[in-house]
Amino acid sequence: QVHLVQSGAEVKKPGASVKVSCKTSGYNFTTYAIHWVRQAPGHRLEWMGTINTDNGNTRYSRKFQGRVTITRDTSATTAYMELSTLRSEDTAVYYCARNVLTTIFWFFDLWGRGSLVTVSS
Amino acid sequence: DIVMTQSPDSLAVSLGERATINCKSSQSILYSSNNKNYLAWYQQKPGQPPKLLIYWASTRESGVPDRFSGSGSGTDFTLTISSLQAEDVAVYYCQQYYITPPTFGQGTNLDIK
């Protein structure tokens, strides 16, 4: 059975950083890219960035460039998303999502259940 | 970035009736070299992550019931549920993957009338 299991909810203060994990199982980790998509209350789904799980290459949305870092640990079959300098507008559910097998087409056939990050003083 | 706009924002349909959701992209997402529209549809039920329903605008993902169908080309697309079932209550999103960044519509909330 294929799974993406994300880390639990976090509460952070403004200015802090958060690191969310996405543990994968049931498939060859390095065959599929992982993306991070967030959903803030009342907002649409928003793509943040992606990582090639084979070579570690990343690509980020211009909106988050400089604040987001996506990494992976191939031995742990886990991807990570770290967002720094948090502000209240970063309060959202953060999803990891698996890219379909053909890596040049960025749509997503499997999603984690999401990690709620709340930014509050 | 390509802006995806869905209509309506919310929709209530009787059980067994047809539901139609529209999605419009701010530029064409039809790639002329392969004649494919770079559009996907997702279903998100309360408390769950999105689930891929359709890609290439009209190809159903494995396991998706055939009452779900996608159509359209260029900038205008439609998701149709031919006979609404109770389990179809959800928010539906379109997404373009023609250019980076991939972008989503604002969502359409589908409920039972």
A56 contacts A111 by C-beta, under 8 angstroms: no
- Contact across the interface for A47 and B103, Cβ inside 8 Å: yes
Per-residue pLDDT, A69: 98
In sequence order, what are the residues at sequence separation of 6 or more whose Cβ sits closer than 8 angstroms to the Cβ of residue A93? A38, A39, A114, A115, A116, A117
List helix spans (H) across chain A.
Answer: none
Residue A83 has pLDDT above 80, yes or no: yes
Distance (Å, rounded) from C-alpha B19 to C-alpha B108?
11
How distant is the Cα of B106 from the closest Cα of chain A, in angstroms?
5
Nearest Cα residue in chain A from B95: A107
B-chain residues near A65 (CB < 8 A): none
| Mean pLDDT for the stretch of residues B47-67 | 96
Contacts of B37 (CB under 8 A, 6+ apart): B29, B30, B31, B56, B57, B58, B72, B73, B74, B77
Residue A86 has pLDDT above 90, yes or no: yes
User: Smallest CA–CA separation between B103 and chain A, in Å?
Assistant: 7
Chain B's closest residue to A93, CA to CA, is B49
Give A109→chain B minimum CA distance, Å.
6
Q: Could you give the 3-state DSSP secondary structure of residue B49?
A: coil
What chain A residue is nearest to B41 in terms of C-alpha separation?
Answer: A107
Per-residue pLDDT of A7-26, as tens digits, reads 999 999 999 999 999 999 99
What pLDDT, on a 0 to 100 scale, did the predictor assign at position A95?
98
Strand ranges inside A40-113, DSSP E: 46-51, 58-60, 68-73, 78-83, 92-99, 108-111
**What is the band of A103 on the pLDDT scale with cuts at 50, 70, 90?**
confident
- Model confidence over A19-57: pLDDT tens digits? 999 999 999 999 999 999 999 998 999 999 999 999 999
Q: What is the pLDDT of residue A104?
A: 83
